[in-house]
Amino acid sequence: MRIRELLLVAVLVLAGFVLFQFQTGRWDIGGDWSRGWPDGFGAFGREASAEETRTLEAPLPAAIEIENGRGRVEVRGADQEAVRLTFRKTAWRRTEEEAREIAGRLGYTVTKGADTLALAANRDEFARQGFETSFILTVPRGMSVRVGNSHGAVRVDGVAAAAVRNSHGEVFVTDVRGDCGIETSHEDVEVRRVAGECRVTNRHGDVRADSVGGDLRIETSYGGVGVEDCGGKADVRGPNVAVEARRVAGAVTVDTSYRKVHLADVGPAEVTSKHAAVTAEDVRGDLKVRTSYGPVQAARVRGRLIVGGANAAVTADGVGGDRIDVKTSYAKVSLAGFSAEVAVANRNGAVSLVPLDLRRGLSVRNEYGEVRLAWPDGETARVEAQARGGEVRWGLAERPDVERTNGVSVLKAFSAHAAAPLVFLSTTYADIRVEPAPRRF
């Protein structure tokens, strides 16, 4: 390995170490730099810790608010009327004596209002940081909880409602009887068993939401989103986000890029993506996809299928709606198991159609790509087919009404059935093939 590469590796390792120190709070650059290095800035500072406990007796307001800084916040609901509080604090300084002195001064305030019980760490009293404070509480289950934190994990469980703002830290929220709102970044979010609506805003982290009774909205980036068992609508937005959504009762909306989208057993769905594969199965309603540079696969869609894309292969089987509309390019289109009005526009890609029947008509306009139609047994839809620079190959037993070639191969069949739907097939510099459909057993 060259010297330059070794230096690059060393710089990357050092940068990761420095980032870890800041995120854990062991280093801090928010202090008073006029006196030199802030206290606690350094990899070899001394540590001191302490813990306080307290019980806040009833009667209590309906909501509790915790405002912390660096450190953990844990709130658990229980069948009780009082609030039990544990306050933990850890300080880092050059010497152990300095660390103990700072830990001794760290504390919190309690403000009891008509509607809210507010707890807050006294970190603003310190010009130099280099410490962590943590709140661990057990509260009555009927309380609503609001948490403000940074650079530390937040856990909320078994309460009436939850609102969490955590600038850089993991968030875990479970068993909430009402609504839930979460804002964080650079860490993961997990939400389970929320009876009401839930909204999550995150960046550079994964989001997992299971068993949300109401509507769900997730905004994130550069991570993965997993949704299961949502009783309302699900809306997921953000760049570079992989999305997996299963068993969503309401409509699903996804807007992302560069990562795969997979939907299964969902309501009507609309997906907007770039450079990403999209798969959807068991969609209870229409499926609309706008994408590019990624394949689209759909199965068992009860409603309509609408796909608009570029450089996107489209494969669909079992579309139950009355309309299929596909526009794409430079990729194959393959549709099967449908009884719908069909409009396909493609360039530089083959088109293959295996319908159940032709009762609603069909239109394919292709360029530089073959068109194949598997003709259902007994159908007599009118046929008009033309291939410029290619041939129309007719494989049915019935003779066509018109068949000619003069630079453009033209074929017409079943023209006498004036009231029948029209099957129009067109392509350039490739062939059109109409063949009997394979038997279904």
Cα 30 to Cα 37, 164, 235, 296, 341, distances in angstroms: 11, 24, 37, 49, 65
User: What number is the average pLDDT over the span 158-176?
Assistant: 95
pLDDT > 60? residue 188: yes
pLDDT > 90? residue 13: no
Q: How confident is the model at residue 102 (pLDDT cuts 50, 70, 90)?
A: confident
Place of tokens 């152990």: 96
pLDDT score at 19: 62
At 227, which amino acid appears? V
Q: What is the largest CA-CA distance in the chain?
A: 101
> Which residues, 6 or more positions from 60, have their beta carbon under 8 angstroms from its beta carbon?
81, 82, 83, 112, 117, 140, 143
pLDDT score at 33: 36
Answer whether 0.75 is exceeded by the pTM: yes
Strands (DSSP E) found in 79-129: 83-93, 108-112, 116-121
pLDDT score at 25: 47
pLDDT score at 104: 86
User: What number is the average pLDDT over the span 185-213?
Assistant: 95
User: What number is the average pLDDT over the span 138-158?
Assistant: 95
Q: How confident is the model at residue 22 (pLDDT cuts 50, 70, 90)?
A: low
pLDDT score at 7: 67
pLDDT > 60? residue 438: yes
Residue-averaged pLDDT of the chain = 90
